[in-house]
Structure formats: structure tokens, C-alpha cells
Amino acid sequence: MALLRYIGRRLLFVLPQLFGIVAVSFFLLKMIPGDPALLMLGPLASQEAIDEIRSVMGLDKSLIEQFIIYLERVLSGDLGTSWQTTKPVMEDLLKRFPATMELVTLSLLFALIIGIPIGILASLLKKSIINKFSTYYGLLAGSLPDFWLGLIFIFVFYTILGWAAAPMGRLDLGILPPTVVSGSYFIDSLIAGDWETFGNVVAHLTLPVLTLGLINAGPIIKMTQSTMDRLLESDHIRYARSCGLGEFQIVRRAFRNSLPSVLTIVSVLYSFLIGGAVLVEIVFSWGGAGQYALSGVLNADINPVMGFVVWSAILCLVLYLIVDLLYFAIDPRLRD
Amino acid sequence: MKVLYLYCKDRPLIGFGYFFVFFLVILAIFADLICPWPPQTANPDDYLQAPSWRHLFGTDETGMDIFSRCIYSIRLDLSIAFLGTAVSAIVGTAIGALVGYYEARGRLKTVFSSFTMRALDVIQSFPVFVFAIALVAIFGQGLYSIIAAIAFVNMPIYVRLMRTQALSIRQMRYVEAAYLSGLSDVRLIIKHIVPNSMGPILSHLSVNVGWSVLLAAALSFAGAGVEAPTPEWGSMIAVGFKNIVTGQWWPSTFPGIVLGLTVFSFALIGASVEVLADPVRRRAAIAKY
């Protein structure tokens, strides 16, 4: 019951935020200099033709009416057409977002797998080398451009050593993508039980996941370490210690209590990476949503850009919603 | 200065951060004297040369000297980052001070405050990088668009930092005293609230400059920032991108190293400012001298 009320209250916040996102994207669109009708028809168009297009596009209506039309369109999933692919933006995005999400999710999982143990160890062994290492790792990882690190990895592991798959997309050219279920090749090839494809997918994922994972492990280490530092000094851990609990039990308890902060930093990184992975996507020709939006920016194809901006903001909202539900699962205090 | 020296004595890496930024500024000022080759002149006879004494960092596919280009990039990248950060800090601090000072003070003022904060929530729910790219797309490519985009995406942090500070400082006795002695709201904010809440903002500034360098380079790498012949680290990495698969590593590697070291140095400085701006922690850090 408490859960339902919690979700209900949380959903109440989502609606105004959603409205805000659509409003901001609308005003961004309106800020583009120049008359869209004129841009469409070119400078030689006659006044009648311009007027006609303006009334078809609804540009002769008031700003508020235009906003309502825009709102209706976005809510019905119509984000316009991309002139580059000549397809509806919605269709393009549905194909490309799974690629981005797959990359980002696996990278963050990898970052967690290396980040949490190092963070915990650095917090437990104050004077050890691992403590120093983790301090500077955080600063360094935050300073390196991920796209550059990706290039260096390509040079070392593909050009010189020849271990990695060619940095050209998500699959080798000769291999057909698995039947679409989720859109993520990683999951779909597992569902299909096609091990050859799966192996190829993993080979292509390795380098980009390594790049993004190593960079994003920095903040995770830092957060784990500082939270564990605080918790190991806290009253309830001191109590547990004076009760004579073993070191393993104590770490387990402290770690469980540090989960909310780790979750917070993961959600921040996740929302950043939905758009921020675009450079790594370019480096590995990943064909994700960010890359699609970027080519829209560079070719004055505005619909894909706005579609991507709106949808990634919506995905972030969903993400924060899920994270709040996870807080609910982790932190028993929220259940009262 | 003395405090800084004592602090860095035990922490050579932080000392390195300060040294490196100082070194960069010197290089940027005297770039004309230091650089052996003009940064934008292509020399077709020397294309894709490996690093040698003639070309310290090698040359790119058009034959431009990478060492010279790396040094000239400092001017552009640091100016963009400093300007972008300065604009976002000034605007953000001003808004934050107003919001914090007026929060829960009369109906209209409260509406203004909560409206601003909700607007920030919405802005921050857009992915930072995409938002920056969209801004550049809208304003058109160019230097001012990049600076505006950087300033815009960084602003919410300053508003939040300043608001928290203003909320607590406005409760202080001396602010109340100043208010009773008849100071106007604006003067009160400028004279008392802002100067007394600079600590966290200063320590964020340095980190933010580094981060802005990274963002500017990332925008240029993506093709939405500074364009190719102009020397800029991000676009240089993008130019060398094609060559790395065929084994010419130098056009991308060197600008990346310089860029990484720059951002790293600003992060180190930021970490030390955080301690040095706080009198208690500062004293503890240099206690043994």
C-alpha cells in the first residue's frame, strides 16, 4: 500500500516535468533563426507559396495555438520526418535507441564491477596503495576525453595487436542481426540462442564498453569510497563492531547502507551517457541514437535532433522513476 | 602564496597541477616565439610525418605541424573555457542569490523562486551534451555559440550552490542587522550574501574550467564546435581519427594527452582550492609547519 502511494506521488511529479520538457523543446525550435517556411522553399519562392506553407505548418496561428499543436503531435508520437533517412523520426529512433541503451547499460555494469570493489578496498585499507590509486584514478578518469581513449584502444588492440573486432558498428558485415525482440543485439542473440552471433556482438562491444566503463568507474569509486568512509565511522556500525561482529559482516552491512548513494551516482551517469556516449558511438561507428541526432545537427535536419532531445529527456525521467523505486526497495525507512 | 607553497610541498601532484596551468599560460602567451612552424599552414611535402626533431609531434594528413597546433590550441580552448565558466558563474550566482534570498518571503517572491527552481529541474533533465549540441545547432556554429552553450549547461550548478548558501546566510545576525539599518535588498545581496558564500563557488570554478575545456573539445570533435584548420585539440583528434586505424597514431594521440593533462591539472587545483578556501581545513592541512 505504501508502495502504491509512493509511486502515485512520484508519478504526479512526472507530468509537469514531461510538460516542461516538451515546452523547452518547443521554445528551442522557435529560437532557430529564420522563417521555417522560407527555409523550406528557398529564397526564390513566391509570397503566395510562402503563405500557403505557413498556413499548412500552422505558423500563422498564435504561439500558444502552435504550442498546443506541437504538444498533440509529440504526445501522439509524431516527431516529423528526417530528410536524411526520409523516414519518420520515431521509427528511426526506435531502431537506434536500443543500440545506445545496450552500450550504456553494459558500460555502467562494467564500471560498477570494477568500481565497487576498489572503492570498498580503498575505504577499508586507509594507508594502502589502493587508497592513493583510487584518489587519483577518480581525478584522472574524469579528465580523459572518452573519445580519445577509445581511439587509443582501437590503435592498441585493433591496429597493433589485432585482438579486437573492427571498430565498424555492432556486427561484422557478413553476419545478420538476430530477430528483433528488444532491439539490443546482446539480448536478442541470447534469446535466439545463436552463439556465433552472440560471440560477434560481444567482440564488437568489448572496446567501447571498456572505454566508457573505465572512464565512468572513476565517479563510482569515489562515491563508494566516501560513503563507506562515512558509514564505517557511523554509530550503527560502531555498535555492530562492539557487539563483536566479524569484519565481513560489518563490511556487508556498511555496503548495504551505501547502496543508495551508489545508485544516485549511477543514475546521474546513466542520464549523462544517454547523450554523452555519442562521441564513443562515433568512434566505433555504433549507429546509436546520439549519432543519429548529431548527423541531424550537422546537416540542418532539425526533426531528428528535437526527437532525440525529447526522447532522451523522457528516458531520463523514466530512469529516475525506476531509481526512486529502487530506493524504495533498498531503504526500509521509505516504506513507513 | 605562502600557504599554497606549504600545501603543495607535501603534495607534489597538486603542485604539478598549478605548475602545468602556469606553464600552459606562458606557452599560450609566447606561442609565436615558441612554435617552430605556423599552425595553419599545410605543407604537402611533409604530410603524415612521424614525430622527429624536425616535427616534434609529427604532422597530420595535410602536413600541418602538430606540436605548433597543440600550443596554439591553448589560446582558443582556455579562452572558451574561461569565458564560458565566467558567464555561467556570474549569471548563475546572481540568480541563485536572488532565489535564495527571496525564497519564502512573500507570495510573489516565493512564486518566482519556486518557478526558477522547477525550470532548472527541467533544463537539467535534458542530457547535458545533447543539449549543448542542440544549442550550437540553433545559434549556428561559431565561437560565441560554443561559449553560450557551455555557459548555459553549467549555470544550474551555480544557481543551486548559491541558493543553498544564501538560504543559510540570510538567517545570520549580521544580515538581519544590516537589514534593520535600512540597507536595500539588492545592496544587501551584493554586500553581504554574495561575498560570504564564495567558498564553494570558488572551488567549483576551477573544476568547471577543466570540464568546460573537455566539453569544448568534445563539441569540436563531434563537428559542432571549432572547425578544422583552426587549431583546437578536439578537432585535431577528429582529424587524426581516420589515420589511427592505418597506424599513424600521432595526429590524435598528442592533442589528447595535452587536453587530458590540462583538464587533470584544473581538477587537481580544484581539489586543493576546496581545502584552501576553508580556513579550518586549511590550517589542518599545513598544521605541521
Indicate the range of A54-63, A138-147, A248-257, B154-163 predicted with least confidence: A54-63
CB–CB of B125 and A317 under 8 A?
yes
Task: Map residue A88 onto helix, strand or coil.
Answer: strand
Interface contact flag, B136 A297, Cβ < 8 Å: yes
Q: Would you say residue A321 lies in a domain?
A: no
| CATH number of the domain where residue A225 is located | 1.10.3720
pLDDT of residue A67: 82
Quick check: A113 pLDDT over 90?
A: yes
Whether A151 sits inside 8 A of B237 (CB atoms) is yes
H or E segment to which residue A69 belongs: helix A63-75
Contacts of A311 in chain B (CB under 8 A): none
What's the pLDDT score for residue A38? 63
**Between residues A314 and B44, the one the model is more confident about:** A314
- With beta carbons less than 8 A apart as the criterion, state whether B87 and B145 touch: no
Asked if residue A85 is part of any domain, the answer here is no
Q: What is the rounded (10 degree) CA torsion for A64, A70, A74, A78?
A: 160
Range of the domain at A172: 99-290
Residue A279, pLDDT above cutoff 80: yes
Chain A segment 189-208 residues within 8 A of B by beta carbon are: none
Nine-digit cell string for A126:
586507509
pTM: 0.84
Query: Do the Cβ atoms of B252 and A151 come within 8 Å?
Result: yes
Nearest to A145 among B13, B241, B259 (CB): B259
In the predicted model, is pLDDT for residue B71 greater than 90?
Answer: no
| Residue A55 lies inside a defined structural domain of this protein | no
- pLDDT tens figures, A69-111: 888 888 887 777 777 777 888 888 888 888 888 899 999 999 9
A17 vs B122, B134, B256: nearest CB: B122
pLDDT tens per residue across span A119-169: 999 888 888 888 888 888 888 888 888 888 988 888 888 888 877 777 777
Number of domains in chain A: 1
Residue A121 in any domain: the answer is: yes
- The minimal CB distance from B127 to the residues A136, A145, A276 is found for A276
What SS3 string covers chain B?
CHHHHHHHHCCHHHHHHHHHHHHHHHHHHCHHHHCCCCCCCCCHHHCCCCCCCCCCCCECCCCCEHHHHHHHHHHHHHHHHHHHHHHHHHHHHHHHHHHHHHCCCCHHHHHHHHHHHHHHHHHHCCCHHHHHHHHHHHHCCCHHHHHHHHHHHHHHHHHHHHHHHHHHHCCCHHHHHHHHCCCCHHHHHHHHHCHHHHHHHHHHHHHHHHHHHHHHHHHHHHCCCCCCCCCCHHHHHHHHHHHHCCCCCHHHHHHHHHHHHHHHHHHHHHHHHHHHCCHHHHHHHCCCC
Measured between beta carbons, which residues in chain A are less than 8 angstroms from residue B247?
155, 159-160
CB contact under 8 A, A24 and B223: no
The whole-number average pLDDT for the span A296-306 is 77
Share of chain A above pLDDT 90, in %: 9
Which of B11, B21, B125 would best serve as a mutation to test chain A binding (most A beta carbons within 10 A)?
A: B125
Q: For residue B256, what is the nearest residue in chain A, using CA coordinates?
A: A148
Within an 8 Å CB–CB cutoff, is residue A318 touching chain B? no
What is the distance in angstroms between the Cα of A151 and the nearest Cα belonging to chain B? 7
Mean pLDDT, chain A, rounded, equals 82
Query: Which residues of A, range 230-249, sit inside 8 Å of B by Cβ?
Result: none
A17 and B137 in contact by Cβ < 8 A?
A: no
Q: How far is A218 from chain B (nearest CA, A)?
A: 13
> Going along chain A, which residue ranges are E strands?
none
Residue A200 pLDDT = 81
Is A252 a member of any domain?
yes
Q: Is A282 in the B-facing interface, judged by CB distances under 8 Å?
A: yes
Average pLDDT over residues B245-272: 86
Chain B nearest C-alpha distance from A309 (Å)? 7
Tens of pLDDT, residues B182-194: 888 888 888 888 8
Question: Average pLDDT for residues B224-239, to the nearest whole number?
Answer: 81
For A115, the 3-state DSSP assignment is: helix
**A256 found inside a domain:** yes
Is A325 domain-assigned?
Answer: no
As given in the structure block, the three cell numbers for residue A34 are 529564420
